[in-house]
Structure 1
């Protein structure tokens, strides 16, 4: 064997000869690896630090038997000054029998260093074991907290089974793996959740968090908080690890507080009961129910239980895909109807049933359908204020939505309890307004039937203000044949103003009937009574006396106490305000004097008295409202007197007029 042939070999080569294995040859790679060991010395002398390792026993066996042996990835610890490296390194040895060129026998050893491969492999093994242990610890910890743990590959695709997921959702591994997990998400949450997850994987966010509903193995859905984070090897994401935690209770509590806050905000600053309940219905749908209607019971104070029920629907809100109902409608309900039963019992009526199949007691034969199509449950909740059922809230769920249950009933109760104080105030106002309107309407009688004259009256309560005004009108005949017309307005917008209005109206009637005096004198006597009996009261008034004159026509005598001027429209459409006979308002000036004025009423002429609600607007000067009235009256004078009054109300009033309006019109018949 010519040993020089191994000089260029890229692996280490060493040749020993004789039974004591003296170094006969080392090539360059060997010398760079182990240092320049002196030739002629035994391997045990040349490598004293390896003498106890047992490696050299192989030399003895190979020399004796001639059978080659191989050691794979064995550690070699070197520590001597001539070696370029220190510490443990790994080599693969191949040792075989060799015969020299001179016939002597020896051993040929070939070695390859595999330190990098062994180190990398060991590092991977250690990392894998560490990951396995960490994951096992994490799973054990999570299992103790009743969470779900799941693992995906770097692309976000589920790559390992999750016993927790299977236990909660009922999905098998085959159903869960890949992207199958998305099938367990509630359909309303699925698309947004999947899109968010894909975006997180693409952007490799440090933490992905989401809350969505999962379908349960036992049926229904619950909210779970989902968190996932990437597992990195350096800068490379090698997988994702995530958890799902049941947060249904926390979600319900948060939702509850949010809804209550929304209800409080929605009803803030409202005084009208119907406005407040309408705002609440917008909170109930769609967060609690798919449909909500609210009925006011305007006659609840005086209705005996078991009698027919008049309910005014003031709000109706439906979710997407459900038919809309008109929000304002009066309904007359039989005593046995579900709404009447809930009102009389003052306790909820609750029913759960197959979609679209309500029980007979909720939909008696011959009654109009009142539940939305596809409804699966309904709650009729009476709103009891100060012991009286003031309103009824009807909520229903439809289709695939879980039926309404005790939790929703409790939430509805709490919603209404949060607004009990404003509801009580609104109910008190409702009572006051009903009394005031009843008083006011009882005093606003029909005008008398006077031969030769047409008289029409109108009264419109405010549609926007929360108060009742003190407007009034009156018309009656005196014993001498004259006709008295009067109109007035007591300052204030409440029940006391309405009461005072009634007292002043009746007092003026008595003073006018007592003696035949000029209208100014009668108003002066009325003012003395006002300042004596009602110290803080002020009012405006027009008092007019219409007498027949010879040879024809009529004569108007009138006085104005701080009130808007009467309007006279001639048969040809000429319209002008009567500005004479004006004096201060009642209750304002000590010892006032009131003037009287006289104006002829020609055939075909129309005389109009009105309160300031007909001409006043917040955003303009009073003169603009007066001019508008003059123009509209001139244009409408050719119409019959009743139509004339209706036209003026339509033309003059806005949808949200914020004051009461009273008017009285008189027309002298004639050819026009």
Structure 2
């Protein structure tokens, strides 16, 4: 039974002892002793094979310092960490192996072992190191060194590579990142060249990656990448068979010397000629339901030709790659649906005499969740203009659907109830818990109108959202902090206050979501100050230029959230446009 560390509180930033499901799944698949340690050297997970070899239970191993508990010298004595042969590689975060180590078993006897360590990512938690080991007698030959089976890597190295492949590829939901990691895993351990051909959802083949190691640095050959001819239904050529999911094959330049039977064969001949590969191993990349593509490993500088054992290892790698790519594609399709749905739900802005109004929605970066950020603007029955910015908790379709529900409820109450913004949001808050699927949300509802003197006035209430920013035509920028209250969905049912102000002629009101000011590396106050300063500098730009440049300058580089922004500029007086 695989065991991982327990007892970490949810949200505990120091809970690096929870490696995630990928590590536990990885250990269960490994046929030799294996355990994972965190950045402090504490064992966080162990498989059943290791328990048997060490004669120690998971409860005894998990949570213990791996070095103190296990590592011994040839005389059975404890060693200082400075003498640990794993430590240099452990600190450097690089793979390493050795076949001259002793572990102390639960009964006090020594177990001579060969070991291999593999650094691996664990999502949001600290980086982990996977340690694989087995008794030295089972791994060494007559000269005491690890004996390789048929092929390039010995058994321990193969297990380590497969374990690293699993952890690396399952910890990303980006197709591009998964392919980058796949290439870095196989080069240079298995080959000098890595070629990835993918089949799109429209059954088009695209040579996505052709990568070669030059002085240890991966270099892409863009001239060899690009669209490929359709997969022929009957071709016996290796790549064609792999792309149909028929079989894996070892090939060489002689394979494509005869007249090519398809466009794919033409590209394969070109590939061998351009790369100088003398041996290639080609395997299909299969998802759960269909063939996703093929991986070709090529050797030009390495003298050894690929063997059947290498082909078996390649199939194990592509099987893991197929599952990872399948998940990434499914995620990206869902994300695209959510983003498209969200864009369609965001409204067209009304045309109001005397106002210049523009909006922007920027989705989260690739592989991040589409959020529930939204904006709205509509004319009320008395001629005033309602302005809304909000953020619904949740991700993807859930957030997009929740945003639509909340927007409709808010519009209905704002239109039908001739009440201050705070009273309208009170009604919305009560309704959210009863007639929508929204669990929690923040928003600002503002009403823009005119007073008896013909001046532009703004009344607003804020339900836990970042404060609106007001920028005068002269470049004086400040936040509207009145009218603050709890976010929606708490069930507190407290009265909500309103803020009000007169908008100077030519001033610009900026409503935005937290993706514009929040960053994992800076405080919210720093983000708000950055936004304020940039908005002040840009005050003289047109509304469109102001908005685009503000997004470019103020949005944090490490932002991992989507952003909605609504900018409204008032004219010199109602019924007139803004200043020149």
Bin the TM-score by the shorter chain.
Answer: 0.5 to 0.7
Q: Tell whether 2:220 aligns with 1:325.
A: yes
Q: Partner residue of 1:291?
A: 193
Query: 1:585-604 to 2 correspondence within 5 Å?
Result: 585-604=487-506
CA distance in 1, matches of 2:346, 2:337: 14
Which segment drifts farther, 371-380 or 356-365? Answer: 356-365
| 1:630 to partner: Cα distance | 0.8
Tell me, which stretches of 5 or more residues in structure 2 are unaligned?
1-140, 571-576
CA distance in 2, matches of 1:339, 1:480: 73
Task: Quickly say closer, same or farther: Cα 1:402–1:611, change in 2 above 3 A.
Answer: same
Q: Which secondary structure does the structure 2 equivalent of 1:488 belong to?
A: strand
Residue-by-residue CA offset, 1:345-371 (whole Å, 9 max, x unaligned)? 345686532599797435688999777
CA distance in 2, matches of 1:657, 1:615: 9
Which segment drifts farther, 531-540 or 601-610? Answer: 531-540
TM-score calculated relative to the size of structure 2: 0.61
CA distance in 2, matches of 1:414, 1:526: 54
Contact 1:463/1:655 (<8 A) preserved: no
CA distance in 2, matches of 1:667, 1:485: 12
Query: 1:90-489 to 2 correspondence within 5 Å?
Result: 248=150, 253=155, 255-267=157-169, 269-294=171-196, 300=201, 303=202, 305=203, 308=204, 313=208, 317-320=211-214, 324-325=219-220, 335=230, 345-347=244-246, 352-354=252-254, 360=260, 361-362=262-263, 372-376=274-278, 381-390=283-292, 392-398=294-300, 401=303, 407-418=309-320, 425-463=327-365, 466-478=368-380, 481-489=383-391
CA distance in 1, matches of 2:551, 2:569: 17
| 1:227 to partner: Cα distance | 6.5
Task: Quickly say closer, same or farther: Cα 1:504–1:348, change in 2 above 3 A.
Answer: farther
| 1:409 to partner: Cα distance | 4.1
| 1:609 to partner: Cα distance | 0.7
Query: 1:563-642 to 2 correspondence within 5 Å?
Result: 563-642=465-544
Contact 1:357/1:376 (<8 A) preserved: no
- The number of residue pairs the alignment matches comes to 424
CA distance in 2, matches of 1:449, 1:331: 46
Contact 1:473/1:487 (<8 A) preserved: yes
Q: Radius of gyration: which is bigger?
A: 1
CA distance in 1, matches of 2:565, 2:293: 34
Q: Tell whether 2:555 aligns with 1:653.
A: yes
Which segment drifts farther, 489-498 or 316-325? Answer: 316-325
CA distance in 1, matches of 2:486, 2:436: 17
Task: Quickly say closer, same or farther: Cα 1:373–1:643, change in 2 above 3 A.
Answer: farther
| 1:453 to partner: Cα distance | 2.5
Q: Aligned-pair RMSD on alpha carbons?
A: 4.3
Tell me, which stretches of 5 or more residues in structure 1 are unaligned?
1-224, 229-244
TM-score calculated relative to the size of structure 1: 0.54
Task: Quickly say closer, same or farther: Cα 1:340–1:264, change in 2 above 3 A.
Answer: closer
Which segment drifts farther, 343-352 or 362-371? Answer: 362-371
Higher relative contact order, structure no. (Cα contacts within 8 Å, ≥ 6 residues apart)? 2
CA distance in 2, matches of 1:469, 1:312: 33
Q: Which secondary structure does the structure 1 equivalent of 2:561 belong to?
A: coil
Q: Partner residue of 1:87?
A: none
CA distance in 2, matches of 1:258, 1:438: 41
Contact 2:468/2:511 (<8 A) preserved: yes
